[in-house]
Structure 1
Amino acid sequence: SGQTSMHRHDVTVRVFKQKLKSLMNLITHHSVFGVTRCWLYSVEWQKRGLPHAHILIWLVDKIRPEDIDKIISAEIPDPNVDQELFDIVTTNMIHGPCGTLNMMSPCMDNGKCTKRFPKPCQTDTITNIDGYPSYRRRDVDNGGQSYELRLSNGVRVDIDNRWVVPYSPLLCKTYKAHINIELCSSVKSIKYICKYVHKGSDKAVFAVQNVNENDEITRYQMGRYICSNEAIWRIFTFPIHERDPAVIHLDVHLENGQRVYFTEQTALQRALTAPKTTLTEFFNLCSRQNVV
């Protein structure tokens, strides 16, 4: 009927909701990366209309350095080995290009890429002590792949592994979409992501001006910037954020220092039996041998 995602926001959010549900089911119930200990995600729009999700997963068994390349790739697939994956990666997982190849790219700020592309080439994946790993990105001379890309201005450029956004071959082939996956190897990176998924809606400053030409006062207000897709998402009451297991704030106090409420009739009973709190019950839970 000639309609696009711009015309049917209700369809857009429903499709994304189902794909997100499928992705979380694949990760948490089918354990494609290993048994999941806990997870959280947050959906956002960033003023661009279409939704995307930031997901953080904790695994029971840590991913060993030698297994990173089996799960995450930052290289262009060999089209002779897997043409389907090659088409998906070159269509969805290539950054920019930017820099000297395209100074007008949205990621450019003061002549530099805010995402730090192009990445340096290296023959092996290196795990950093504080941050994300430096993934294997072989150059053409060492077995890496490249292809020719035509930019919007008609210029043809060679794209190699320096421009690949890290991805999971399994997830890319399953959903045929842009899914960036990274290994968080430090508390610092996890703290950053947790803050990122909780940062809330985009802010916007707008002005309300009187149509009376004699009124020279302009009032500015601070408010949330909500696009049409986000509005439909909220109308459908779809969750913006989910996590498992649920997080409960503990009632922190010293030993036998919990707050006690009593009357004249219950003073003796309260003094003999200290009331239970979320903190004391948490300690009791941890003392059980069958609790991980």
Structure 2
Amino acid sequence: MAITRYNQHPDIFLTMTANPNWPEITSALLLHQKPIDRPDLIAHVFELKRKCLMKEIETNRVFGNKVVHVFTIEFQKRGLPHMHALLFPKGPDKIRICAQVDKLVCAEFLDPKDEPMLFETIKCCMVHGPCGARNPQAPCMENGKCTKRYPRAFAETTTMDQDGYPIYRRRNNGQVHIVRRKEVDNRDIVPYNAYLSKCFNCHINVEVCAEMRCVKYIHKYIYRGYDRTMMVLGLINKIQQYLDARYIGPPEAAWRIFGHPLLAEIPTVVRLALHLPGMHRVLFNPDESLEAIVSRAGQQMSTLTGFFCTLRFYGR
């Protein structure tokens, strides 16, 4: 929220999920092995792809001149790692009109003759479901409706709703394709950026959030933490009745063993230690003399006094 206060709202909410069929993974498998048998490969390759994705956004300015980004890493129930990222462009690159949205985000099938490889990526990775009447047993279905609000309605042009979320262009151009043995069209497409999807061949959902009203939800979503469940173990009593437990799959275990980052904020935000003058915390050895402790305490700086010294140094 400190970043948002200084840089206004984020403009891009991006989710990237590992693709177990990446050639970097499949080419390293031994005979009869499947990607799930190599969680170390999945973790390593996804971290390399994540770094490459952020470099593409930074150097090629896919979304304009980015000044800040925040990301967190989570893991699906089937184990695949995925990243949630908030991107903050600045100046003229901040999204204000629908024409900017159409340049960055697409929610339609492309012509398979013009972009055959990208078409296959969209067909394999960016189609929701299918759900609804075509598949009432889909995981996203609840009380007969899709919790993700798919299939969406056709729209000839992109518009903004009152909460700052775009209603993406989904033209009824007659294109119908078969995905997972069901017919799908533009209403089932998850919004994506064509350049990034073509580069990385995986699920990369790109959403525009161009108003302040969506800030609370977006920030809460990427910091909501891991999934939890309540379990009863053994005899029920007041002390051991419930255990707040979590499941760590092999890719997450490998990710943590390798020391890959689980979150990052660039630039970093540091909470200052607020205190009155001369009342900062001091660590001391009780065997030291009082004079030595007082002398050392007078020379130490807290994060707050260090911040003030930096301001004075730069003349602010």
Structure 1 counterpart of 2:196: 171
- Gap change, CA 1:279 and 1:5, over 3 Å in 2: same
Measured after TM superposition, the shift of residue 284 of structure 1 is 6.2
Aligned partner letter, 1:259? P
Correspondent of 1:54 among 78, 81, 84: 84
2:165 match: 132
| Number of residue pairs aligned between Structure 1 and Structure 2 | 264
Q: What displacement does 1:226 show?
A: 1.5
| Counterpart for residue 147 of structure 1 | 176
1:7 maps to a residue whose letter is D
Name the CA shift for 1:276/1:200 in 2 (closer, same or farther; >3 Å).
closer
Distance 1:220 1:279, change over 3 A: same
Counterpart pick for 2:104 among 53, 71, 92: 71
C-alpha displacement at 1:282, in angstroms?
8.1
Q: Contact 2:73 / 2:82 at 8 angstroms: preserved in 1?
A: yes
Q: SS state of the match for residue 179, structure 1?
A: strand
Per the alignment, residue 24 of structure 2 pairs with: none
Match of 2:212 among 187, 190, 209: 187
Matched, 1:29 2:59: yes
Task: Determine which structure has more spread, i.e. the larger CA radius of gyration.
Answer: 1
Gaps of 5+ in 2: 1-30, 281-289
Closer, same or farther: CA 216–201 of 1 in aligned 2, 3 Å:
closer
State TM-score, norm by structure 1: 0.81
Q: Distance in 2 between matches of 1:96 and 1:15?
A: 26
Equivalent-residue separation in structure 2 for 1:5 and 1:92 (angstroms): 17
- The answer for the alignment partner of 2:8 in structure 1 is none
2:192 aligned counterpart, secondary structure = coil
Residues 47 and 226 in structure 1, CA contact (< 8 A), matched pair in contact too: no
Tell me by how many angstroms 1:128 deviates: 2.7
Instruction: Please list the CA deviations of residues 34-60 of structure 1 after superposition, one character each: whole Å capped at 9, or x if unmatched.
Output: 111110111101322111110111011
TM-score, normalised via structure 2 length: 0.75
Q: 1:201 and 1:82 mapped to 2: Cα distance?
A: 37
Calculate percent identity across the aligned residue pairs: 38
**Which of structures 1 and 2 has the larger relative contact order (alpha carbons within 8 angstroms, sep 6+)?**
2
Q: Is the 8 A contact 1:251 1:278 kept in 2?
A: no
Structure 1 CA distance for aligned equivalents of residues 236 and 126 of structure 2? 50
User: For residue 268 of structure 2, what is the aligned residue in structure 1?
Assistant: 246
- In the TM superposition, residue 150 of structure 1 has moved relative to its aligned partner by 5.3
Flag structure 1 segments of 5+ consecutive residues without an equivalent: 210-214
- Equivalent position of 1:203 in the other structure: 228
Partner of 1:212: none
- Residue 63 of structure 1 aligns to a residue in which SS? coil
**Residue equivalent to 1:260:** 278
Shift of 1:62: 0.6
